[in-house]
C-alpha cells in the first residue's frame, strides 16, 4: 500500500493521473475502471492534459465505469453515462465504443453481463475509486458482501443526500443503482483511491487502519495487493502520523 498526501488538489490530481498514464504506457490496451463523483475530476483533467502534451495513444484503452443510477435516462446530464462521456471520454480522447457504463436498466442479467464483460476484457488493470463518507466504494453501501459482483442496490439516505447537489432537489436523486461489486473491485490489479476534504477523513482512517468489516466497505482494500491512496491533507487528517510520514 502506498499513501500519498498532497495539499493542493491540482497536484494531487496530477499525481493520480501519472499512475493512469503509467498503466497505459505499460499496455496501450489497458483496462481502466472509471469513477464518477467530484473527487476524480482533477485526475481526469490532468490525464487529459498529459495525453495532449505527450501525444500518448489512448485509442485502444478500455474503460468500465464503476456504477450508474438505476432508471435514469442515459441522456440525463447527471447519468453516469453522461458524466463519463463529458468528463473522461471526450477530454481524454478515449474511443467511445471501448468505454462501458453499467446499463441503467440494472437487471440481474445486465449486472452479470457487465461483470462478464470486465472479465472478457482481461480484468481491470487500474481501478480509479472515490470513497463515500460512509466508506462506500462505487455504490457498495455498508453491509454489502465482500464477494459481491456487479449488482443492483438501494442507496442509503446519506448517499442520496450527498448526491442531491448534482440534482435540482433531493427527490430527483434516484434511489437505486447498479454497481460493480466489492469482489469485482478487489479483482482489479491496482486500486487508485482518491479522497479529499475533511468529510472523508474518518472513512479514510477506518478503511486503512480499522477492522476489515462490511460495515466499512472500503476496509476491503486492506485485502487488495496493490492500493495507492491519494489524499489531501484534510482527508488524511485522522491517519496516524507514522503512516503519512508526518
Residues that bind ligand PGA (CB under 6 A): 37-39, 130-132, 136
Q: Are the C-beta atoms of residues 13 and 244 closer than 8 Å to each other? A: no
- If one counts every other C-beta atom within 10 angstroms of the C-beta of residue 49, the result is 15
CB of 236 to ligand PGA, least distance (A): 15
Which candidate in 141, 162, 163, 232 is catalytic? Answer: 141
Which residue's C-alpha cell is 448534482? 166
Told to judge if 141 belongs to the known catalytic residues of this protein, a careful annotator would answer: yes
CB of 56 to ligand PGA, least distance (A): 25
Bridge partners (DSSP) of residue 193 are: 129, 229
Told to judge if 163 belongs to the known catalytic residues of this protein, a careful annotator would answer: no
Q: For strand 126-129 and strand 31-34, is the pairing parallel, antiparallel, or unpaired? A: parallel
Nearer to ligand PGA among residue 102 and residue 130 (C-beta): 130
CB of 40 to ligand PGA, least distance (A): 7
Told to judge if 8 belongs to the known catalytic residues of this protein, a careful annotator would answer: no
Told to judge if 67 belongs to the known catalytic residues of this protein, a careful annotator would answer: yes
Q: Are the C-beta atoms of residues 173 and 78 closer than 8 Å to each other? A: no
Question: Is the sign of the CA dihedral 203, 204, 209, 213 positive or negative?
Answer: positive
Which candidate in 4, 87, 125, 134 is catalytic? Answer: 134
Contacts of residue 106, Cβ cutoff 8 Å, sequence gap at least 6: 68, 70, 71, 152, 176, 177, 178
Nearer to ligand PGA among residue 98 and residue 166 (C-beta): 166
Which candidate in 136, 151, 162, 232 is catalytic? Answer: 136
CB of 136 to ligand PGA, least distance (A): 6
- Report which residue's Cβ sits closest to ligand PGA: 37
Nearer to ligand PGA among residue 147 and residue 198 (C-beta): 198
How far apart are the C-alpha atoms of 225 and 83, rounded to whole Å? 30
Nearer to ligand PGA among residue 13 and residue 130 (C-beta): 130
How far apart are the C-alpha atoms of 163 and 242, rounded to whole Å? 34
CB of 35 to ligand PGA, least distance (A): 7
Nearer to ligand PGA among residue 98 and residue 238 (C-beta): 238
Active site residues: 67, 134, 136, 141
Amino acid at each position: 500500500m502506498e499513501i500519498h498526501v498532497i495539499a493542493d488538489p491540482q497536484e494531487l490530481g496530477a499525481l493520480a493521473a501519472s499512475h493512469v498514464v503509467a498503466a497505459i504506457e505499460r499496455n496501450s490496451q489497458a483496462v481502466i475502471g472509471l469513477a464518477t463523483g467530484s473527487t476524480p475530476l482533477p485526475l481526469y483533467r490532468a490525464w487529459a492534459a498529459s495525453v495532449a502534451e505527450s501525444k500518448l495513444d489512448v485509442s485502444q484503452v478500455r474503460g468500465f465505469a464503476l456504477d450508474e443510477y438505476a432508471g435514469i435516462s442515459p441522456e440525463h446530464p447527471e447519468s453516469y453515462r453522461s458524466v463519463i462521456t463529458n468528463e473522461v471520454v471526450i477530454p481524454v480522447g478515449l474511443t467511445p465504443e471501448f468505454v462501458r457504463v453499467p446499463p441503467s436498466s440494472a437487471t440481474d442479467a445486465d449486472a452479470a453481463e457487465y461483470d462478464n464483460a470486465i472479465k472478457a476484457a482481461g480484468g481491470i488493470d487500474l481501478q480509479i475509486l472515490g470513497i463515500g463518507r460512509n466508506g462506500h466504494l462505487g455504490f457498495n453501501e455498508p453491509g454489502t458482501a465482500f464477494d459481491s459482483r456487479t449488482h443492483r442496490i438501494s442507496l442509503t439516505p446519506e448517499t442520496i443526500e450527498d448526491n442531491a447537489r448534482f440534482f435540482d432537489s433531493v427527490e430527483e436523486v434516484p434511489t437505486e443503482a447498479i454497481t460493480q461489486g466489492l469482489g469485482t473491485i478487489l479483482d482489479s490489479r491496482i486500486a487508485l483511491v482518491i479522497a479529499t476534504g475533511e468529510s472523508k477523513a474518518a472513512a479514510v482512517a477506518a478503511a486503512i487502519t480499522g477492522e476489515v468489516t462490511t460495515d466499512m466497505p472500503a476496509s476491503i482494500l486492506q485485502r487488495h495487493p496493490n492500493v495507492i491512496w491519494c489524499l489531501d491533507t484534510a482527508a488524511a487528517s485522522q491517519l496516524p502520523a507514522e503512516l503519512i510520514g508526518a
